Amino acid sequence: MTATETAANHPQVSVIVPARNEEACLGTCLESLFAQQGLTFEILVVDDHSTDRTREIASSFPAIRVIEAGPLPSGWTGKNNAVATGAREAKGDWLLFTDADTVHILGSLALALKEAEENGAALLSYSPEQIAVTFWEMATLPVVFAELAREYPPSKVSDPNSPAAAANGQYILIKREAYEAVGGHAAVAHDILEDVALARAVKRSGRKIRFRYAADAVRTRMYRSFAQLREGWTKNLALLFPNPGWLAVKVLLQWVFPWAVLSLSLTRVLKYSVWDMVAILALILLLIRTSRANFSFKMTVLGTIFGIPMFAYLLLRSKRAHARGNVPWKGRTYKGEDHEMIKTANPTPTTAGRLS
């Protein structure tokens, strides 16, 4: 059943798309959602004070409900306010929170609901296939996602006996009963990293989480310029990793070592060929570390050569921004580690992907 046919029916899933200045990608996202089949669903777009054509694009889909996020409450992040607004208006037994920069494979929504139900999961989260176009996207994303895979192994996140909990805010399908039981986004209103905070709340409640890489269901291009990439990961990295400063130093030293050895060998400071073998082995180990993410071999190589120092830089930049209480995102500034918003500005139109 299509979205048009759900108006007079109780939808199985309410799809909630928060959108703040997303004119570059919202139309494609909504087309992919509107085309879903095999279940009853509704689509709600929550316009988070956009200054571009976001609302106009959303309103061009007649069966889609467009909602205004309303004033931002004190202590809330913009995305949490938007998705909470959508959840209050939703009618479905399940809620899918998905970002405006996602594209959903035909039939994936019905399959996701089936997967959640068959696995007894109260929350199902997909890590989308990441589309990278520019050089720094291709170099940085493999390293970031490889390190995320080390920090949040999907097998442990999906294991009820493991305390590990995580979710990707680009795709969170959650049972309404579970969402309301843990307090929804109101319970994590101040969290910049609301997806992980919500997952932790669900797992603490004794409910099951299922988390996996899902190129078969959804894909995304998170950032469309170096400036957006830098701002987005500055917002998130210090919160994703428990010791960002130490991690930055560690990965940078691991990266510097083989290049330093090769340089010293080429200049004959190190005269034995065994040092060449040591450097090559160290580079292979770095390549293996980066290959934990789901990217092509070409991007894995780019990440190993150029992405590791960029990752270290972004970790330190994120740590510094949070420590200073100055974390900008989409025209708003957050205090950082206490996650409270301190300033709102009228943002200029942007094509940035994630709101979370």
At 150, the amino acid letter reads R
What average pLDDT does the segment 195-201 reach?
96
Cβ atoms within 10 Å, residue 209: 28
Share in percent of the chain as helix, strand, coil (round to 5): 45, 15, 35
Q: What are phi and psi of 162, to 5 degrees?
A: -100, 140
Tens-place pLDDT, residues 77-108: 999 999 999 999 999 999 999 999 999 999 99
pLDDT average, residue stretch 18-24:
95
Pick the residue with more confidence: 342 or 91? 91
pLDDT the model gives residue 345 = 41
Give Cβ neighbours of residue 288 (< 8 Å, ≥ 6 apart).
none
Q: Which pLDDT belongs to residue 22?
A: 95
344 pLDDT more than 60:
no
Contact 318, 234 (CB under 8 A): yes
Q: pLDDT band at residue 346, thresholds of 50, 70 and 90?
A: very low
Cα 231 to Cα 317: distance, rounded to the nearest angstrom: 10
Instruction: Return the percentage of the chain with pLDDT > 90, whole number.
Output: 79
Of the listed ranges 15-19, 219-223, 284-288, 345-349, the least confidently predicted one is 345-349
Sequence spans of domains, the chain: 3-134+152-228
- Count CB atoms within 10 A of the CB of residue 263: 12
Alpha carbon distance 131, 207 (integer Å)? 32
Q: Which residues contact 44 (CB under 8 A, 6 or more apart)?
A: 14, 15, 16, 17, 64, 65, 66, 67, 86, 89, 90
The mean pLDDT value for 244-248 works out to 96
Bridge partners for 46 per DSSP: 18, 67
Distance CA 39, CA 36 (A): 8
Range of lowest pLDDT (136-150, 277-291, 331-345): 331-345
DSSP string computed for 315-355: HHHHHHHHHHT-EEETTEEE-STT--EEEE--PPP------
- Provide CATH code, domain 3-134+152-228: 3.90.550.10
Q: What is the pLDDT of residue 247?
A: 97
- The mean pLDDT value for 217-238 works out to 94
Which residue did the predictor score with more confidence, 45 or 70? 45
pLDDT band for position 338 (cuts 50, 70, 90)? very low
Contact 325, 342 (CB under 8 A): yes
User: Does residue 338 or residue 215 have the better pLDDT?
Assistant: 215
Q: Give the Å distances, CA to CA, from 91 to 37, 40, 144, 202, 272.
A: 18, 11, 36, 21, 71
Minimal CA–CA distance to 211: which of 181, 239, 169?
A: 169
Average pLDDT of the chain to the nearest whole number? 90
Buried b (16+ CB within 10 A) or exposed e, 307-331: bbbbbbbbbbbbbebbeeeebebbb
User: What confidence tier does 10 reach under pLDDT thresholds 50, 70, 90?
Assistant: confident
Work out the average pLDDT over 337-344. Answer: 43
Where is average pLDDT lowest: 141-155, 242-256, 336-350? 336-350
- Claim: this prediction has a pTM higher than 0.85: yes
Q: Give the pair of three-digit tokens for residue 129.
A: 């296939």
Q: What angle do CA 100, 79, 86 make, to 5 degrees?
A: 75
